Amino acid sequence: MTLGSQIAWDDTVLPFQLDRPDIRGRVARLDGVLDQVLAQHNYPAPIEALVAEAALLTALIGQTIKLRWKLSLQVRGDGPGRLIATDYYAPTEDGQPARLRAYASYDAERLSETADPFSQIGKGYFAVLIDQGRDMTPYQGITPIAGGSLAACAETYFAQSEQLPTRFALSFGRSTLAGQAEGWRAGGVMLQHMPKASPFAKDGGTGDDGLLQPADVLDADELENWTRANLLLDTVEELELVGPTVHPTDLLVRLFHEETPRVFDAQPVSFGCTCSSDRVRQSLSIYSARDIGHMTTDEGIVTADCQFCGAHYEFEPQTLGFEATEPSGDGN
């Protein structure tokens, strides 16, 4: 494969459909985006792995939902990996890339560099939040941290909240191409059974702790098709997932040629942050003059840093809070 064809698939999400079993899916490749996401902080290796997995899941899930605005994943736990947060912003215009950002909060003193990254989360929850824009009610779905990976948590979310059998196969890590510097690469495949016109309602399933399983929501033929597609996905190799020498389209033909795969237009993804002086000022508008005083530095300014992109903001204290005495002075 030439370098040009390799780059053509970098930082993209390719939607596809398997017509025979009525299953939809996505193939994602993240490399430059993931490098930019992780370059914002000097994370320890276990936290880097969690952020990489969460970012890859966000790209796959975000492209499946008809968004007007934003999809977010939040992973919160009582372990040293306290918070993993990601945002996927849908393109504002046709032909524009989706934007992805992510960050983590962790307790360095409690973190184990050698333990499994997922174990560093501890007990907590995995949440999917969908913001459909102004005048629309936000949606939030929550599932417990369980299953051994963030991918397993996402599969449980779709099974419980949407009653959609869903499967993820992910691979991510640092890699080096000949003649190039080391960088992050990530790739994954998402399979999801197409939703029914009338979703099947069921309070409990046959899985652990009453969780729904595919057999609880699919009829016999659907379950057979779903099982076959999963067995085919089981044959995927990690290097096939991340590339860079395997086209996503070639991968789909290799895995699912008997399932009649059909691909759609690929969606480019870029690193992007929505922070701004105006947004930070708005977030500080809930504080009193006394609160703002506690935030003021010895130099007489209030500072704020964006956790996602590292942008640094400085404000005059008297222009902040709901008791501000002077206009902002920056046009906001």
Q: Which residues of the chain have pLDDT under 50?
A: 1-7, 198-199, 332
Radius of gyration of the chain (CA): 22
Q: What pLDDT, on the 0 to 100 scale, is given for residue 183?
A: 77
Look up tokens 């941290």; give the residue: 145
Interhelix angle for 32-39 vs 45-62, to 10°? 130
CA atoms within 13 A on the CB side of 167: 18
Instruction: Look up the pTM and report it.
Output: 0.85
Interhelix angle for 45-62 vs 150-157, to 10°? 30
Q: What pLDDT, on the 0 to 100 scale, is given for residue 55?
A: 96
pLDDT in tens, 192-209: 998 765 445 555 666 666
Kindly tell me the sign of the dihedral angle through the C-alpha atoms of 268, 189, 235, 252.
Answer: negative
Interhelix angle for 220-233 vs 248-256, to 10°? 130
Q: What pLDDT, on the 0 to 100 scale, is given for residue 128?
A: 94
What are the structural domains of the chain? 9-271 (3.55.30.10), 277-319 (no CATH)
Q: What pLDDT, on the 0 to 100 scale, is given for residue 206?
A: 61
Residue 154 near residue 126 (C-beta atoms within 8 A): yes
What ranges make up the beta strands (E) of the chain? 12-18, 23-30, 70-77, 81-89, 98-106, 124-131, 139-144, 166-175, 183-193, 261-263, 267-271, 302-305, 312-315
Rounded to whole angstroms, the Cα distance separating 45 from 113 reads 7
Q: What pLDDT, on the 0 to 100 scale, is given for residue 208?
A: 63
